[in-house]
Every structure is written in C-alpha cells, then in structure tokens.
Amino acid sequence: MKKWILFAASLCLVAVIAACGSNNAKTENTSSGVSEPNTAAPEVVIKAKSWEFEEAEYKIKAGEAVNLTLESTDGVHGIEISKTDVKIGNNKTQTVTLEAGEYEISCNVPCGNGHRNMKTKLIVS
C-alpha cells in the first residue's frame, strides 16, 4: 500500500515538473508513461509468440489511459516501450498514458533465437 502512495506522489511531482518545464522541449519525456491502474480504461491486447508480435503496429490515443496487456501465446515474453519506463511482464496488464508520438515496443525477456528481432511499433496520436 505504502508503495502506491509513494508512486502516486512521484507521479504528481513529475506532472508538476512537466507543467513547469513545458517551454523546454527537452523535458517533455520526463513522464514515465506508467499511470495508476484504471480498470475503466480501454484495453489493448498485444499478442506475442516466439518470435514476433501479432501486429506490425498498435495504435492508442494520446493523453488517455489505456490498459496494455501482453498476452503470450507461445513462449515467455515481456515488453518495454521506448522513451518510457513502461515494462509489462508476461500475461500482465499495465495502465499507461502516453504523449503523441511513435514508440518502439520490444521484448525484454531473452526468449531465444529470434528475440532481438521481436519488435513492433506503437503509434500514439
């Protein structure tokens, strides 16, 4: 429980810092992308198998909470999203809120021969 309070507090801090630094383009990626669990948010399922993701790209809305679920249908995988702190474990869900842009989703679990090529795109707009 305490962890969540700390986490929420740090999110608030990031929001304050982001608001203050909005004139400075370099600070805009300080937000982690990870937000508090929100079961009301729409869900996007990213299916993974050895060694590829089901879709060549995934699309979500900018600035809105989305539940990203990683579903592995073959093998054990995990994902991380470039330019963010978002990491999602095998068959886990994470609520994320991202700024518009193009991100790369890649597998972060060494899962065998094709691991290094296990990437897909996330379009946030």
Can you give the binding site for Cu ion, defined by CB under 5 A?
107, 109, 111, 115, 118
Of 79 and 98, which CB lies nearer to Cu ion in the complex structure?
Answer: 79
Minimal distance, residue 45 CB to Cu ion, in Å = 18
Determine the Cα–Cα distance for residues 4 and 75; give it in Å rounded to an integer: 31
Q: Are 77 and 59 in contact (CB under 8 A)?
A: no
Instruction: Please tell me what DSSP assigns to residue 91.
Output: T
Minimal distance, residue 98 CB to Cu ion, in Å = 22
Q: Are 94 and 114 in contact (CB under 8 A)?
A: no
Q: Cα 58–60–62 angle (5° rounding)?
A: 140
Minimal distance, residue 120 CB to Cu ion, in Å = 12
The two structure tokens encoding residue 25 = 């383009």
Of 11 and 119, which CB lies nearer to Cu ion in the complex structure?
Answer: 119
* Residue 83 β-bridge partners: none
Of 80 and 99, which CB lies nearer to Cu ion in the complex structure?
Answer: 80
Minimal distance, residue 115 CB to Cu ion, in Å = 4
Kind and range of the H or E element at 18?
A: helix 2-20
Of 96 and 105, which CB lies nearer to Cu ion in the complex structure?
Answer: 105
